[in-house]
Amino acid sequence: MDAALAPLPGGWDAIDALAVTRGPGLAGCLIVGTMYASSAALARGIPIVGVSHLAGHVYSAWLADPELEPPYLALLVSGGHTECVVLREHGVAERLAATRDDAAGEAFDKVARLLGLEYPGGPAIQRVAVSGDPTRFPLPRTRLDGAFSFSGLKTAVRYTVRDLGSGSLTASGVPSDPQVVADIAASFQTAAVDQLVTGLAVAAECTGASTVAVVGGVAANRALRDAVEARFNGLRVVIPPFELCTDNAAMIAAAGWQRLRVHGPDAPGFDVDPSLAECA
């Protein structure tokens, strides 16, 4: 905490309120965080608010563009979540579509493992896909009404690797030819991005959105950023800088500020919710 406060003139004395993630996430981590924050709020006599991690991602777009105001449509893509959310007003959000199985970031991680690439899978696949042919291995694009799905795409990659034959695989079962790895990575990334952009386009058409945002860890993917900017060229597009895409304290503070303003403070000792689905 001392390191986090070091850049702030006045330190603790300059803090007017605290925001802390109360879900979703691992229960143990959430409990530790909320207990520390609640204790600090009581000791300092300042208000505290528990916020949703998902709301933090939605509000990372506001950090990227301080003039951004609802309503706006957000594609939230991370290791654990893939969904379209419309923030209708501060404190009011509606989920329009969500994944039925793997989240996009999870699919990137699993495909990276199939290709013998390092974790996290998103940056690894993006790195090798640059030199790959995205048309060499045709992969499916799952289309579902009001939902995303990446399990079929992940399974198709598994079968593609298997069908290379044992002579083309290493002892650990991954492709031995770096060009094949690059081509599969590029083909997978293209298919995954196409599914995400298509799902966002459907949501934009249904809502008549004039502003779309792409948030979450997968929003750092260059192919996704370029595809969204190209597809929604006539709309206002907001994509946070890389440092605000992955989990960060600033986005929790942003969501906390808006929640405090709309709903007021929470009573210290509030419960955590590992399955919390709020987006505002």
Tell me which DSSP letter residue 14 carries.
Answer: G
Domains of the chain: 2-61+245-263 (3.30.420.40)
Q: Which of 74, 37, 49, 77 is nearest to 59 (CA)?
A: 74
Q: What is the dihedral of CA 98, 104, 107, 109, to 10 degrees?
A: -140
Angle at 40 between CA 34 and CA 41, to 5 degrees: 85
pLDDT score of 199: 96
Answer whether 85's CB lies under 8 Å from 195's CB: no
pLDDT score of 6: 84
pLDDT score of 241: 97
238 in the Ramachandran plot: left (φ > 0), alpha (ψ -120 to 50) or beta?
beta
CA torsion sign for 93, 96, 100, 101 is negative
pLDDT score of 116: 98
Q: What phi, psi does 239 have (nearest 5°)?
A: -130, 120
Query: pTM (2 decimals)?
Result: 0.93
Answer whether 52's CB lies under 8 Å from 81's CB: no
pLDDT score of 5: 84
pLDDT score of 62: 96
Token digits of residue 46: 């300042």
Strand partners, 48: 18, 266
Q: Which of 197, 231, 185 is nearest to 82 (CA)?
A: 197
pLDDT digits (tens, 9 = 90+) for 44-79: 999 999 999 999 999 999 999 999 999 999 999 998
Task: Kindly list the distances between the CA atom of residue 8 and the CA atoms of 12, 13, 50, 80, in Å, as whole numbers in the listed order.
Answer: 9, 10, 22, 32
Report the distance separating Cα 67 and Cα 247, nearest Å. Answer: 22
pLDDT score of 268: 82
In this prediction, the residues of the chain whose per-residue pLDDT falls under 70 are none
